A and B are shown apart, each in its own frame.
Chain A
């Protein structure tokens, strides 16, 4: 007796076929890519991209991998909201990220970063390890701006220096600049007189063409000549200069800020993360990183390995540092969340 095997139509599967296909589908869904599970040899680090990433790869990531065997995966973009969401949901996209002063305070208060040990004297602040400093400086197009602006008062002076301007849409950075434009001396800035700062901002409001939000955007605005004067991070300025644009900047009245490495709270790759933070802020790697990216190293031991030529482009050099002021988040002059909200409403009206 021959067994005739009739093919089963798609819509009326045999039990065997049904079990096979559903089992296959289940297996496929379980084979999803891992998201920062505790693995021995991978660390996920948040990256700013651009020149930051190039310098970090060459001086921090690759040497770290060579020394410890831990591979580093880069995750973009840097997102403060994601850092908070990670802790809430327990699903980690990255273990390590960098934060500025203002965000560091908020992050530590919100309990979303891990407690760290001090890797070098003076290096620990609110559970962030100080890596490097960067400055917000004034830059302008030499082809459209007549003369040489020297200070933020010149930035505010639309008669003497007409043209479109741009500032970062970030209250903590912009308010001190507004006070400097009013003539407040650099050493008497903090605590900030918030109302006076907003009154000063009202004077320049109509001349701000764009409130930039991303680093690459500020470079593009300056490089393409969309605005004539801009308050920009010094590293991004060098990027525009390197691209051949006719631009110039001044260190005078630049606003220094510190960048801190932080580790996401309860991340599965905790040990590797702490190891990395210690490595990245040690003298030699930090010196290499900051030299390439033009930042100022916060670990004094790193200055030993920095050439004079590179030091001249750093905000912490002996020539540049005295011209600048340090952002002070502890003595700001108001509740930073409230001030930021007020700034947002001001920008939108």
Chain B
């Protein structure tokens, strides 16, 4: 044993050997089931590519895929609009205030998706505070808020914003304040300061956060199903419905594989430009 470990050390094998248990775990609980799903997509109900054909050409599936991407893009943009100012606020306030905001953000982040979804159902419901507030403001016939694209998008933005905020904040913290001061001393104000100095410096954080939010939003299941309407359903909800209602494991697997392929493509593009190890800051 002693000679084996000496050999391992010399040939730099130890890191790989240490990874073996994790690799084994991943192989058993991740790689093999995933391979099973891939096989199911081409063998259920009989061996053929019919499932993929149906998904790629059927009107319903095209519509749902398109909607999923558009919603994910919308949610990403909204998270950016909400997250950037908040991250900026955190980076310029005193350490105590920054800590407080960070605490609020992370506590929201740690609350389960399901609990937050139900909270939104209560808030936006017919007898909830949102409608009551609109009544107070004198709005006669308040529009229905729940079970619409608005409610599901709003809730998704709320749930994914922490990813964006924390990514941007970690980058902003590292920006040398001297850079901003020197830009100001050269005459840059507000808009041009933002455009020429701040945005380029925070770009990695923005890219990080956007990719993370977009990819997670693509696979979002609980929130669109509970808060949205079937007209704007997203791909994960459709996969679940196909399997539960129709027992169509093959079709569901095919949709899942396509979703996986698209996600990997996005991550590949990101990796080219930034490097995948940067994704977690």
Contact = CB atoms under 8 A, between A and B. Distances in A.
A110 B247 CA distance: 10
24 contacts: A12-B5, A14-B1, A18-B1, A79-B244, A80-B244, A80-B245, A81-B243, A81-B247, A110-B247, A210-B147, A210-B229, A211-B230, A225-B127, A226-B125, A226-B126, A226-B146, A340-B245, A341-B246, A344-B60, A344-B241, A344-B245, A345-B60, A348-B64, A349-B231
Contacts of A202: none
Contacts of B125: 224, 226
B63 interface: yes
Interface string A191-231: 00000000000000000011100000000000011100000
Interface in B85-129: 125-127
Most chain-A Cβ atoms within 10 A of its Cβ — which of B5, B241, B245?
B245
Nearest to A110: B247
A12 to B, nearest CB: 5
Contacts of A349: 60, 63, 231
Which label, helix, strand, loop or mixed, suits the secondary structure of the B interface? helix
Contacts of B60: 344-345, 348-349
A348 B126 contact: no
A246 interface: no
Contacts, number: 57
Contacts of A164: 144
A34 interface: no
A209 B144 contact: yes
A348 B1 contact: no
A169 interface: yes
A234 B1 CA distance: 71
- In the A-B complex, list the 4 residue pairs whose CB atoms are closest, starting with the nearest: A347-B230, A345-B60, A15-B1, A81-B244
B59 interface: yes
B58 to A, nearest CB: 9
A341 B125 CA distance: 30
A183 to B, nearest CB: 27
Contacts of B241: 344
A84 interface: yes
Contact of B231 (A81, A224, A337, A348): A348
Contacts of A14: 1
Nearest to A88: B249
Most chain-B Cβ atoms within 10 A of its Cβ — which of A12, A164, A211?
A12
Nearest to B245: A340
Nearest to B64: A348
Nearest to B67: A348
Contacts of B153: none
B30 to A, nearest CB: 17
Interface in A53-112: 79-81, 84-85, 106, 110
B13 to A, nearest CB: 13
B32 to A, nearest CB: 13
B208 interface: no
Interface in A328-344: 337, 340-341, 344
A81 B244 CA distance: 5
B146 A84 contact: no
Given A80-B245, A349-B63, 11 more contacts: A11-B14, A12-B2, A80-B247, A209-B147, A225-B126, A226-B146, A340-B246, A345-B60, A347-B231, A348-B60, A349-B231
Nearest to A112: B247
Contacts of B244: 79-81
